[in-house]
Structure 1
Amino acid sequence: MTLIQDPAAWVALITLVVMEVVLGIDNLIFISILTNKLPPEHREKARKIGIGLALVMRLALLGTIAWIVQLTEPLFEAFGHGFSWKDLILIAGGLFLVWKATKEIHHSVDPEDHGEDFIASSATTGFASAIGQILLLDLVFSVDSIITAVGMTPHLPIMVVAVVVAVTVMLVAATPLANFIERNPTIVMLALAFLLMIGTTLIAEGMGFHVPKGYVYAAMAFSALVEVLNMFARNARKRKRDAAH
């Protein structure tokens, strides 16, 4: 009740919700791209499981805040930087994202035709693999998200509400975003480029080079705006050709 009546607590909650939603964009883009590679009947289920795991992982980490804070304590020093568990997790997650995005870009540029039999036989393995990869990235983004939350407010209830709201937004936006990406092939390449940039940023953060998140998301927003303008231009040309015929 004290927190409910405190205006500062509401400001902290709104700020933290916005921050958690913004941080969740990276996770959501990865989940959308990965689940779109599954057979249509498995996509919705995989998205719900992936985002559900993100919520469970974040809430579990909130229950171990004392341990989470210790993740920022240096374990060893190299290249003039003290590496903590958080740094190692960010570097591992960044390397995975760079590898995954590079691999998907290569497949998009030089696709391999495996045939329907191969796709049918590997549907189950693909689903399990997708969930495993989503779980791995959920861990990386969850650690980053919770450490950010701990740095913004000392009140656990505010953190829990912010995380639940942010993950709910992710759940609502997951299918529309995935469908939009699937309908617009050029968006896939842009989203993969985003993941490549995010992976590089995570590696830089883990190595001790602070990259302001505002710069990263401003670049993403500008690129997305340019692509939207390109989509409008393509649609206008298409309508013009259809009218001419």
Structure 2
Amino acid sequence: MKILIIEDEKHNASRLQRMLTDISPKFEIVGILETVKESINWLKKEAAPDVILMDIRLSDGLSFDIFEKADVVSPVIFTTSYDEYAVRAFKVNSLDYLLKPIEKEELEAALKKADLERKKNAPTLELEQLLHLFREKTPVFRKRFLLPGYNGYKIISVSDIAYIFTEQKITYIFTRERNIEMLGQTMDELEDELDPDMFFRANRQFIIHIDSVGSIQNDMNGKLKISLKQDRSIEILVSREKAPLLKKWLDK
């Protein structure tokens, strides 16, 4: 089975590769793509794979945009962190949809189903209906965090967050009042839970609130450098690839 992976987080793509190898050494990974643009170009030029493992939220947009600009004839298994109600909507249309972190058993079952559909030569995607279902669904983003405190709990409103950062694999909130609180979620999980109109994943270490951006400066090789209102000593580098997304996010 020839498999195409569309996933912008390298560690998630590597994990998928390892699981696919464990499931069957006969699987052939024909490509690992990270963006909507790259995926469109690949699908226009290359032979259709037997199945596509496709993340929904990519660095340059939603993967649904791929279907509008390229002819996707392969069975698609979506992989993402959206809530269970969206999953049910897709299941009704017999489209496989796996929530991260993906379990090997679930992936194996989804691949068997996709292979069966492919061999039957049966259509696996009713794309217009599926896209409509997902685009019409309003995502519910996190509004607050309940955190353990001294002899009880404390509530941190999302609107009070200046930025989120990770250090030695531990995730922290930095609030507008300059307090630091530890979180149990990973940066990847938080990126999916927070409203993308308000929060931006600047790099692997930082997620920033739009109201905390102090200034932006050009850096070398097309990169951008962000300084924050709460702490001007912190400089957050944004890659050349993400720089256009940052400017688009701020220019709404």
| Shorter-chain TM-score range | under 0.3
When the two structures are superposed, what TM-score results if normalisation uses the length of structure 2? 0.23
Greater share of residues in helix: 1
